[in-house]
Chains A and B, each alone.
Chain A
Amino acid sequence: MRFSVLASGSTGNSIYIENDEHAFLVDAGLSTRKLEKLLGEVGRDMKALDGIFVTHEHSDHIRGLGVTARKYGVPIYANEKTWKAMDGLVGNVPAEQRFVFDMETVKTFGSFDVQSFAVSHDAADPMFYIFHENGRKLVLITDTGYVSDRMKGWIREADAYVFESNHDVSMLQMGRYPWNIKRRILSDVGHVSNEDAAVAMSEVVSEKETRIYLSHLSKDNNMKDLARLSVSQTLETCGIRVGEYVHLFDTDAEQPTELVPV
């Protein structure tokens, strides 16, 4: 299994996952043209996609979904409530390309097992995905106000994580966002802060080589260096030595990460 975070942030999100038989996107939150370009940058083609898994209906996750589905005939997977919420947002997706992926279920695609799990976010029925192949595990978890014990149970001991590290709490509190937005971000259905993300990570990583991609960083209330510093220091406070077996990586709103094996 290999993956690349094509883009991450409030301007658009998409993650590419492949093995020797299949290729998928999780979310298509950028224009189709942008997705084509980003996928091209990791040496891959949209034509090879076998499906797009949708996490929730917010525009930064589905902006290019309808056009991509129609242009490439790609099957789209989402739960029923998300499909309903996407009505009128993604245009017409042909019935033969619409598939329901229920919450907390597993679908198998060749040697890939794709598992869905619930997150806490202000969308219709938000969920994220875990990819399993040959005992290797890739967890994608962003857009959640907190990481519950139930979520921790699902995501424990993965080999790689794409983990939300949305904001620095002080920057958000001091920043120029209106109070209602600040309250939403800080709420249980908003986004996780650098420190909260790190505490959750410390409870789920095991003592094996683990890659953690810090993602969905706020443009105004976070910075890559700050997120990395904050997460690594909090992890170290929790007894996890970063750089030894846990490795942190940046993601970007416009640059894909290197396509790496899990």
Chain B
Amino acid sequence: MDWNKTKTIFIIVFAILNVFLYSLYVNRYTEVKRIDVQGETKIEERLKMDGITYPKLPEIETASFASGEVWVFDPKEVKDAKGQTLRLTDDRGTIVGVPKEPVSIKGEDGKLDFGGLLDKYVKNGSDYKLWKADEKKREAVFFQTIDSLPFYFNQSSTLTVHWNEALEVTDYQQRMMDEIVLFNQEKDLFPPIQAINALYSRGYLKTDSTITKVEMGYSPLVQLTKTQVFAPTWHIHVKLNDGTSEDFFVNAVDGKVLDKLPEQIIEEDG
């Protein structure tokens, strides 16, 4: 038997086989890629077909988890208060403030402006961001922020303001977190279009609705002995056909749609 010939035949046969297998692999790979592209287009197309529109989406790709400790107010702050009367709850976790002089929230063009209150009366007022102002109830809710990103519906970091008919603040209730830190490790985020898709595929998005806002914030994840841990969260604000609106929250790390967060309600826009 001529082993050299046999060896050559084997090499040629296996070379041909390798080329064949490689071409199969390339075909399969291309098909899979094509399916992905079609899938992505489909989300956008299906939204379009249902008349659901959305704004330009944020391009944040990574974010860290965050943690914070509930601030316990110092009774000395109550004693030393200037221009307002302060009262602490029993657990010293909430401070209630009543300005001594009228503090107007009347802004330009009939809009509400809380700048005066936040700057002069509320501890670390600039850290709070307006979530909702209900003019009928005369109540505004603010969420504490880190790097301008709010902690959604976290009861330990919410500010509630009330006012009277003359648009003057009657009182406010503040809870605050301290020692807020971002975890070292950044996580890849679930893209906002996928967060919208998570809502759409679960039937949360109604036909002809308009997504007016997609923004990043934090939602409570874990409660440790002293500290709360927060997960990066997409907040998606949707305006419905009938004038009402809804807010949805999607965990930005694993894409899980969060149950309604505490106190979350459907707002009446009109």
Task: Spell out A's residues near B (CB within 8 Å).
Answer: 168, 170-171, 174-176, 223-226, 229-230, 233-234, 236-237
Contact = CB atoms under 8 A, between A and B. Distances in A.
Contacts of B183: 223-226
Contacts of A236: 225
Given A171-B222, A223-B65, A224-B184, A229 B256 contact: no
A136 B183 CA distance: 34
B221 A170 contact: yes
A154 B223 CA distance: 32
A39 B148 CA distance: 43
Nearest to A168: B222
Contact of B67 (A224, A225, A234): A225
16 contacts: A175-B254, A223-B183, A224-B185, A225-B65, A225-B185, A226-B65, A226-B67, A226-B229, A229-B224, A229-B227, A230-B222, A230-B224, A233-B224, A233-B225, A233-B227, A236-B225
A229 B221 CA distance: 14
A231 to B, nearest CB: 10
B226 interface: yes
Contacts of A224: 183-185
B185 A233 contact: no
Interface in B174-232: 183-185, 221-227, 229
- Shortest Cβ-Cβ A-B pairs, 6 listed: A225-B183, A233-B225, A170-B222, A230-B224, A233-B226, A233-B224
A226 B183 CA distance: 8
B185 A237 contact: no
B254 A176 contact: yes
Contacts of A170: 221-223
A170 B220 CA distance: 11
A224 to B, nearest CB: 6
B184 A225 contact: yes
A171 B221 CA distance: 7
Residue with the highest number of chain A CB atoms closer than 10 Å, among B185, B222, B226: B222
Contacts of A175: 254
Nearest to A250: B184
Contact of A226 (B222, B226, B254): B222
A168 B185 CA distance: 16
Contacts of A230: 222, 224
Nearest to A171: B222
Contacts of A176: 254, 256
Tell which of B67, B185, B229 has the most Cβ of chain A within 10 Å: B229
A196 to B, nearest CB: 14
Contacts of A234: 225
A230 B225 CA distance: 8
A237 B184 contact: no
A50 to B, nearest CB: 35
A229 B65 contact: no
Contacts of B65: 223, 225-226
Contacts of A229: 67, 224, 227, 229
